[in-house]
Structure 1
Amino acid sequence: MSEIVLARIDDRLIHGQVMTAWLQYTGGNHIVIIDDETAKDDFLKTVMEMSVPEGVALDVFSINDAIEFLKNDANDDKLLLLAKTPGAYYALIEGGVKLANLVVGGMGAAKGRTKFYKNISASDDERETFKNIIEAGTVVNVQIVPSDKATNVAGLLN
């Protein structure tokens, strides 16, 4: 069974930091994007495929398809999960996918979001979702790049 070496929230999904720092740090060889909208957009999927280094596999799944893939995956890959929101990860957890850790890397300012930590923003609903993820037993940290000190999100929710 494949191992989840990183589960990361980043509203940009694949970009330079993920490709260089996190792939190298985790030894990951298979990126799994979990996003309903991206999964339906063939052009965007093609752009993502061109962004992935040679030798690294890429799958783009809707949330429901990701749950099925992760629960039934029989490969020996080191998976990097990428999603735009905490809601995608909470859906995975509710669907029976075990996540020991979740890294918050990029949640930019948007309508309904307020500053959460440095340049990370979250809505009230997203803050509640973080609480639910933590209550489910997943450790959630803000960490932009591997060399940054991790900051536990639980301490930011009070």
Structure 2
Amino acid sequence: MGEPDIVLTRVDNRLVHGQVGVVWTSSVGANLLLVANDDTAEDELQQQLMSATADSSGVGIRFWTIDKTISTIHKASARQHIFLVVRTPQDARRLVEGGVPIHELNIGNMHFSDGKEQVTKYTYMNQQDKDDLRAVADAGVNVFIQETPDDKKIKIQEVI
């Protein structure tokens, strides 16, 4: 088996929604959405809602834990063009450190919560988020913030 064709990896605390399932998926040429998040892998209601979005875009969707993604993604078929979506920078860091070949990490929506500061219009981070993203970037991954495919990419090093 060769390296899986991961066309893009995105951190978005909403995971798969209209913007991800339609706009981003078609923009990057994906035919499979892979949601890698431990909580979502166990939540059937969330899976049903996200599956409806994937169905409307004509792409497949899978819901795996971080550990299953690490152990299984290398078995992907060459015809699978994978858009990998995670909820947090911590999920992304675990994947990279687990050997998942992520070359680009797009930071999408990271909503405000206690202890987080605004980094861009739609991106709020705490120190742990920043540390995790630095570690991913230090591992050689191109990490950038970009809300939609038409927006300008902001290199993570410019804001953290």
Establish whether TM, by shorter chain, passes 0.5.
yes
Match of 1:138 among 128, 136, 141: 141
Q: How is 1:48-67 mapped onto 2 (pairs within 5 angstroms)?
A: 48-52=50-54, 53=56, 55-67=58-70
Asked if the contact 2:86–2:92 (Cα under 8 Å) also holds between the matched residues in 1, the reply is yes
Equivalent residue, structure 2, for 1:101: 104
CA distance in structure 2 between the aligned counterparts of 1:125 and 1:33, rounded to whole angstroms? 22
Matched residue type, 1:68:
S
* Residue segments in structure 1 that go unaligned for 5+ positions in a row: none
Worse-matched range after superposition: 145-154 or 116-125: 116-125
2:22 paired with 1:20: yes
Matched residue type, 2:94:
A
CA distance in structure 2 between the aligned counterparts of 1:19 and 1:128, rounded to whole angstroms? 28
Matched residue type, 1:59:
R
CA distance in structure 1 between the aligned counterparts of 2:57 and 2:106, rounded to whole angstroms? 24
Question: Normalized against structure 2, the TM-score is what?
Answer: 0.93
* Residue segments in structure 2 that go unaligned for 5+ positions in a row: none
CA distance in structure 1 between the aligned counterparts of 2:86 and 2:78, rounded to whole angstroms? 21
Equivalent residue, structure 2, for 1:11: 13
Q: Spell out, residue by residue over 1:28-83, the C-alpha distance to the aligned partner (whole angstroms, 9 max, x if none).
A: 10000011101011222122212212531100011001111212223421110111
CA distance in structure 1 between the aligned counterparts of 2:78 and 2:50, rounded to whole angstroms? 22
Matched residue type, 1:74:
S
Q: CA RMSD in A?
A: 1.3
Worse-matched range after superposition: 43-52 or 141-150: 43-52
CA distance in structure 2 between the aligned counterparts of 1:49 and 1:108, rounded to whole angstroms? 22
Equivalent residue, structure 2, for 1:47: 49
CA distance in structure 1 between the aligned counterparts of 2:121 and 2:53, rounded to whole angstroms? 27
Tell me how many residue pairs correspond in the alignment.
157
Deviation for aligned residue 1:156: 1.1
Equivalent residue, structure 2, for 1:34: 36
Matched residue type, 2:93:
Y
